[in-house]
Structure 1
């Protein structure tokens, strides 16, 4: 299901605004009700005071004359009913309707008391007002009650509230239009970027222009450019691998083809057997080369997704060294292995770590004279696992120690057959495991000392 960034942004902007409008509508209705009640109450109080001023004692009897102005205050198109009730200090009805609802509690002093009730099934709002009466017979406070139905008040509430709500909805609509316009302008650089990517040739991996875009979009542009750089690097790696493989396989294949042609021509069984033996050796060499190329491709950054796990590097190194004992025996080389008895855990790829040890030890075995010595040591060094391979061969000059880590680089002159990939593979494997490699001279010279440091598995504390 496709999602629209414009719609999401608009939703996140407008939904809170709609929620605010809803809350404001509720408060506006409450305020409108208070305002209408205040107007109604003031009108009721003014009418009650006009009536209260007419409450007097005449000839020993308390009377109340209701002036028309007291009732005309409520004149409106709503035709609200206005009712009143006047009680003497003794509680006798002297004017008005006897069934007007009395207040829940009598007024306190001369302060008016407002309340709501019903009059003949109609809702009303009323005010009760105490009016002092000076009399020798019936002195005290008369009670004046004035009430009105609520049609006018309700209409006033609706007018105030709906007017406020209409204005707020208009503001929301205007905000939505302005937001849409702002989003269109604000998303224009992103849309231009989309159009640029769509119109690009599939072969184009040029970096995107980050000028003219908002600062919030620049990290995304930088991430895309970084991804394009990695794609370029991966393509370069693939092309380099194909070029290296074709270069290294071309010569052995040509030699094999020549040897096969010679074997076909030779009628002497002895010569044919020699040619077949040479072909067999060439196939073995090509198999080793292919394996080294595949190992190199796997170890290179981006060459494969390495599935790493916690491994005992000591066990891997011991097994790899034992597997090379045959080569050492054939060349009368003293191959020794020394490692700590404790586990030496690292996070790595078991095949590549084994290839690391094999290439280092085999490289030493093949490049030292017969009767030499190769020592393999493995120990913990702080937060790292240290692998050291030393030999007493001719060593490598200081100016060549960095170059021998490059692929297909061989020291000249070299009397040992090889592909020049062993140390290059080691460097790529070490890099893939976030380690370091250092080539130095043994003490005493001559000889070569190779140190490889790999991070120890987390959670393993170094020994005290």
Structure 2
């Protein structure tokens, strides 16, 4: 199930707002209740004071007249019940209902006491007020209690709360509408980008324009452009590989085809054997060329995914040199190998590192005269691993040392059979392992010294 970015952004905008409205609704209910209680209390206190003003001594008795204005204050459509009770300083009931609930604590001084209770199973809110009575016989404070039912107060609470909540919900609705419009406008560049990607030519790898979207989306565009660049490089790599392979295989295949045709037409067994030997040599050369092309394709950036692991470069180099011992023996070349006893940890691809050493040593063995010398040395330092391949051959002129790394480039004149891919492969393998390669003249000349520096496993992990 696909997720909607617009819906998620809108939800993250509105859900906190809804939570705030819910909290505000709760606080508004409390405020509305306090407001309604304040209005009710003021009405109760005004009524109680009107009644208290009528408490006086007459003919030796304390009595109280209940003026109609004291009860008319509660007139409303809710038809509230107003209950009152007046007690003399001696505690005698002089007016009102005897079962009106008394306050939990008597009022202190002349301050009124507000409280809630029940009158005949109906909830009421009441006020108790102490009224001084001046008398030689009944001196003291009379107690005036006025209570009212809560229908009107509850209605007032609901009206205040509902009106405030309605305003809050209306605000949320307007905010949601504005947020939706804002998201629609804000996502417009992204939607235009989507439409552009859908409508563009499938073969087009043109980079996207980052200026057409907001700054927050530019990293996404940069990542897409980087991916498109990698795809473009990979396609160019494949095309170059196919072109190189077809170019280099076309001539050997034509020669093989000619040799096969001649072997078929020749009835002389000796000539046929010579033709078969030539065909065998051609097949061997083609096999080496194919292997070098595949190694080159694997080593290039964007080629086959390299699965690197921690290896011992000393062991890899030793096996590579030992495998070339037969060539050195056949050509009477002194091939030596020196390496420290300690392991040389490196983070890399075992096959490519093996081909790195093989190509360097094989190149040296093929380009020096018989009876020459090739020395392979390994060393380790804080700067990394150093591989040195040194020979006493004719060397490479300084002007040609960069050109020899180009593909299929062979120095002229050259009497050595080869494809011109050895040093190109070496350069790609060194680059794939974040290393560096340098060609220089031996001391004393002539000769060629090749230095390859590769990072150790610890240095590669830190980088």
Q: TM-score range by the shorter chain?
A: over 0.9
Shift of 1:60: 2.0
Q: How has the CA–CA distance of structure 1 residues 226 and 244 changed in structure 2, closer, same or farther, with 3 Å as cutoff? A: same
Partner Cα distance (1:278, 1:459) in 2: 49
Partner Cα distance (2:87, 2:445) in 1: 128
Partner Cα distance (1:459, 1:147) in 2: 88
Q: How has the CA–CA distance of structure 1 residues 453 and 101 changed in structure 2, closer, same or farther, with 3 Å as cutoff? A: same
Shift of 1:453: 1.4
Is 1:351 the counterpart of 2:351? The answer is: yes
**Aligned pairs (5 A) from 1:380-391:** 380-391=380-391
Tell me which residue corresponds to 2:364.
Answer: 364
Which aligned segments of 4 or more residues in structure 1 are displaced greater than 6 angstroms? none
TM-score (norm 1): 0.97
**Aligned pairs (5 A) from 1:439-450:** 439-450=439-450
Tell me which residue corresponds to 1:228.
Answer: 228
Tell me which residue corresponds to 1:129.
Answer: 129
| CA offsets 1:29-49 (integer angstroms, 9 cap, x no match) | 111111111111111111111
Shift of 1:459: 7.7
Partner Cα distance (2:426, 2:318) in 1: 17
Tell me which residue corresponds to 2:40.
Answer: 40
**Aligned pairs (5 A) from 1:424-443:** 424-443=424-443
Partner Cα distance (1:458, 1:416) in 2: 40
| CA offsets 1:206-252 (integer angstroms, 9 cap, x no match) | 12223332222222222222221211111110100000000011111
**Aligned pairs (5 A) from 1:30-429:** 30-429=30-429
Q: How has the CA–CA distance of structure 1 residues 186 and 460 changed in structure 2, closer, same or farther, with 3 Å as cutoff? A: closer
| CA offsets 1:363-420 (integer angstroms, 9 cap, x no match) | 1111111111111111112141111111111111112111111211111111111111
Shift of 1:353: 0.8
Partner Cα distance (1:124, 1:264) in 2: 124
| CA offsets 1:409-442 (integer angstroms, 9 cap, x no match) | 1111111111111111111111111111111111
Partner Cα distance (2:391, 2:149) in 1: 112
Partner Cα distance (1:30, 1:40) in 2: 15
Q: What is the count of residue pairs matched by the alignment?
A: 461
Partner Cα distance (2:383, 2:441) in 1: 25
Partner Cα distance (2:344, 2:460) in 1: 9
TM-score (norm 2): 0.97
Q: How has the CA–CA distance of structure 1 residues 184 and 301 changed in structure 2, closer, same or farther, with 3 Å as cutoff? A: same
Partner Cα distance (2:441, 2:134) in 1: 127
Report the aligned-residue RMSD. 1.3
| CA offsets 1:150-192 (integer angstroms, 9 cap, x no match) | 1111111111111111111111111111111111111111111
Partner Cα distance (2:459, 2:63) in 1: 101
Partner Cα distance (2:443, 2:90) in 1: 127
SS in 2 for 1:419: coil
Tell me which residue corresponds to 2:19.
Answer: 19
Partner Cα distance (2:129, 2:190) in 1: 71
Identify the range of structure 1 (133-142 vs 210-219) with the bigger mean alpha-carbon deviation: 210-219
SS in 2 for 1:251: helix
Q: How has the CA–CA distance of structure 1 residues 217 and 55 changed in structure 2, closer, same or farther, with 3 Å as cutoff? A: same
Partner Cα distance (2:397, 2:71) in 1: 120
Q: How has the CA–CA distance of structure 1 residues 454 and 174 changed in structure 2, closer, same or farther, with 3 Å as cutoff? A: same
Partner Cα distance (2:420, 2:431) in 1: 18
